[in-house]
Amino acid sequence: MFNQAVLRSGSLVVALLVACLGHPALAAEGTTRSAARQLGTEGVQAYQAGDYASAVEKLERAYGALPVPSLALWSARALERTGKLVEASERYLEAVRGEVSGDRELQAQAKKDAAAEREQLLPRIPTLSIHVEGPSCEKLELLLNGQSLSAGLVDTPLPTNPGPVTVVARCSELEATETIELAEATQRQVALRLTPTQAAKNPAPSPATVPSDTTTGKPSRWQPTAGWISIGVGGAGIVLGAIMGGVALGKVSELGCDSNGACPGATDDELASANTLRTVSTVGFIAGGILTAAGVTLLLIPPPRADAAYVTPYLTASSIGLRGAF
């Protein structure tokens, strides 16, 4: 009986649609009625041609414009053919509960057909129970194929369309995901165990642990550069001190100075030159040592907070030393 109802001739189907849609109590404006009639006719023709996706699209639009039992019936049939059994069941029910008007005999037949076909469909709809294990959760989030579900439906058989089904449970930083293949007329249960997400297992470093600039709060970038420059300049100063020291020793030796620093026979210019070499050597060693130590400090010690005491080296054209705040 079901097959005979579904495979009625195209002319009878179109006549039924026209009769139902043409009733003044169900029709909206003339343009809307005409468009809905055309879409409904095209949807039924697409269904009979086996183009169920197109039939769903056209019949959904027609039924949305004019929700009459005949369009609800054919919309449900198209949804059923595309595997959307749950949606088809609801649409059949809408056809059964639809208002009878216009040609009462034709509308009543559509409602009767919808009730019979829904009864045949219901046993085919699979059910899925979602069981969640793990820590208790006050705000549990459930997703079924990307659609949100009420957390109160846990452990409740849910009518579900057959095919691949992905279930997700989330609670704060806990999550569980499972994908199964659901066949028609089956009853399945999926158990989800909440575990920490990957982000919770590998938290990002706290910004407080990253050395930052005292004014901008951004990671400091000048300290490494300044540190290596200080080490380089300090090393050059030490090398210069060593070279000048060697030259000074050679000069003293040439002047025949004794262990007490006395240089008999040396002129004032020669003594001044030797003393200058000694001074340059000493300054080179001292400045080089301070700059090298400062560079190492800049590389190893994070920059101070704006509200913390600190000490940092400085170098100008006329002086060198340390400065800070306490």
Whole-angstrom distance, CA of residue 310 vs CA of residue 303 = 9
Instruction: Compute the average pLDDT of residues 217-233.
Output: 69
Residue 262 lies in a domain: yes
Q: Is the pLDDT of residue 209 over 90?
A: no
Residue 212 lies in a domain: no
Both tokens of residue 260?
A: 């007490």
Beta bridge partners of 196: 174
Assess contact for 59 and 42: CB atoms under 8 A. Answer: no
What confidence tier does 149 reach under pLDDT thresholds 50, 70, 90?
very high
Do 245 and 307 lie in one domain? The reply is yes
Do 93 and 192 lie in one domain? The reply is no
Residue 211 lies in a domain: no
Report the Cα 248 to chain-centroid distance in Å: 70
Do 13 and 118 lie in one domain? The reply is yes
Residue 197 lies in a domain: yes
164 three-class SS: strand
DSSP structural state of residue 302? P
Residue 210 lies in a domain: no
Q: Is the pLDDT of residue 221 over 90?
A: no
Do 14 and 104 lie in one domain? The reply is yes
Domain count, the chain: 3
Do 92 and 163 lie in one domain? The reply is no
Residue 288 domain boundaries: 222-325
Identify residue 249 by its one-letter amino acid code. Answer: L
Neighbours of 256 (CB within 10 A): 11
What confidence tier does 301 reach under pLDDT thresholds 50, 70, 90?
confident
Do 256 and 286 lie in one domain? The reply is yes
**Average pLDDT over the chain, rounded to whole?**
79
What share of the chain in percent tops pLDDT 90?
A: 43
pLDDT of residue 323: 62
Whole-angstrom distance, CA of residue 181 vs CA of residue 164 = 4
Residue 80 lies in a domain: yes
Instruction: Compute the average pLDDT of residues 246-259.
Output: 70
